[in-house]
A and B are shown apart, each in its own frame.
Chain A
Amino acid sequence: MRIADRVERVPPSGIRRFFELAEEKEEVISLGVGEPDFSAPWAARTAAIDSLERGRTSYTANRGMRELRTEIADHVRRYDLDYDPDEEILVTTGASEALDVAMRAFVDPGDRVAVPQPSYISYVPGVVFAGGEPLAVPTRVENDFALTYEDLTNAGAEDAEQLILCYPNNPTGATMSRSELAEVAEFAVDHDLMVLSDEIYAALTYEGEHASIATLPGMRERTVVFNGFSKAYAMTGLRLGYAMGPPEAIRAMNRIHQYSMLSAPTTAQYAALEALRSCDQEVVEMRDQYDRRRRFVLSRFDEMGLDCFEARGAFYAFPRCGGDDERFAEELLRQEDVAVVPGSVFGTGGEGHLRVSYATGLDELRTAMDRIERFVDAR
């Protein structure tokens, strides 16, 4: 059977092997998970149940329920983002679908797409599936993994058509302040780059406030912002996200979305509507718990002598493991039954690091950190 070249070009995910290794073991404590350990707020779940009981099981408008788009428009004003629910918001099946649709809508064959690294593992394949050429832009721990004008220049990003951003960042936990983003915005304007800004972890910002690049001068018209309900509202399995951008960008994305997904899951849209209306407090409580665990994990890495970048967002720590990260992760898993993800699977700049998710209860986290300490001491 012939498989399309662009699919063949994308190797299997680097985390696949670790997933299989972890699955072989029975009593693994996993710090390899990229999703909350909480369940969606109960009010959101009851809204989903209620929608099913009422038989609301048909398609919605392609762009998503208008009520939900209006609520999203209200919600994102907290980040100084102002979008018209009728023209500038598209509700999608997770932020992942929004990103996939965006790449297909904006990337022409051969277009270069700048991807800061380390980064979420789906960006590079997404670019390739869209026919584009990913351009790795390494970020550096010395700059707190923030992207700089210099990084973009050094990587040759002036020839790129698009730039993907993800702050707060998976896997590093890095955030970017408004002034740091201003440099990136300047580069995007100077070299006429479109920016795809994945802000799915915006609500999980622990120090400072989340800043969106779309709020900087000259950026709104060249940026599409992505967000969703998976991380902040612990709704990963409900698969609901959204994209916001200028009308022509959202129209183009919707053209693909309407032929592929038609509309995001209706049940999930009702859950999301309720989440936005009444679950702010739950988000704050979850964030507070992540924050405590973050401090705990950073402090334990510090005590065991593993140099760890001070993550300020998302729910990942990104310590240096001092050597081959894949081997470290594999041996840690085999010897101590603790699963973490080697940093190198997240691209250039991730080598020698580990992604350690603290979206795990404190008791398990404590045991896992004790085991990592024992493993480090024995090396």
Chain B
Amino acid sequence: MDQRRKILDLLLSNARESTTDIARQTGLDEATVEETITELEDDGVVRGYQAVVDWQQLADDDEHVQAEVELNVELDRETGYEDIARRIVKFPQVSSLRLFSGDYDFAILVEGESMHDVSQFISEQIAPIPEVTQTVTHFVMETYKDRGIVFGDRDDDDRLSISP
């Protein structure tokens, strides 16, 4: 495995891993680790670092609503997927936008503080886009796993503390 991939693997499992600890685990020197991370960022391979949040663990008054919205669009000679995507990604409520093969064209993940917020955003901002022919909204009822991290998985280590 090349060193970029080794470092990426570690950042994927913990983006807060220090360069010192990455160096310790990979056997690379710290300077190389730092340079490689900078390169990965400069090349646009690493696009950012975010926490994976289990919103359910926050207090009840911090409501957080997510919805997966499927979009069907109609293209014409002047408008391609890219054009539509460029327009949609600008909304701060849209946290991810992907083009799919299959029954629908785009899937967007919309986040808001209430179901009303999210519904209003879709009906007032997304549905009226001229190329959008259909939206199907699926509100997220529960998240069990996100970006490889299992939520609610707080099993204690039940191994014996000393074993042969």
Contact = CB atoms under 8 A, between A and B. Distances in A.
Interface of A: 13, 15, 18-19, 22-23, 28, 30, 32-35, 37, 120-122, 170, 288, 292-293, 295-296, 299-300, 339, 341, 360, 362, 366
Interface in B1-50: 9-10, 14, 21, 23-27
B164 A339 contact: no
A35 B10 CA distance: 23
B101 interface: no
Contact of B25 (A30, A170, A293): A293
What is the size category of the interface that chain B forms with chain A? Answer: 10 to 19
Interface of B: 9-10, 14, 21, 23-27, 157, 159-164
A112 to B, nearest CB: 24
A15 B164 contact: yes
Contact of A32 (B10, B14, B23, B161): B161
B24 A121 contact: no
A343 B157 CA distance: 24
A30 B161 contact: yes
24 contacts: A15-B163, A18-B162, A19-B160, A19-B161, A19-B162, A22-B161, A23-B161, A30-B161, A30-B162, A32-B161, A35-B159, A120-B164, A121-B164, A170-B164, A292-B10, A292-B25, A293-B25, A295-B25, A296-B24, A296-B25, A300-B24, A339-B161, A360-B157, A362-B14
B21 A366 contact: yes
Contacts of B25: 292-293, 295-296, 362
B161 A28 contact: yes
Contacts of A121: 164
Given A292-B26, A295-B24, A295-B27, A341 B159 contact: no
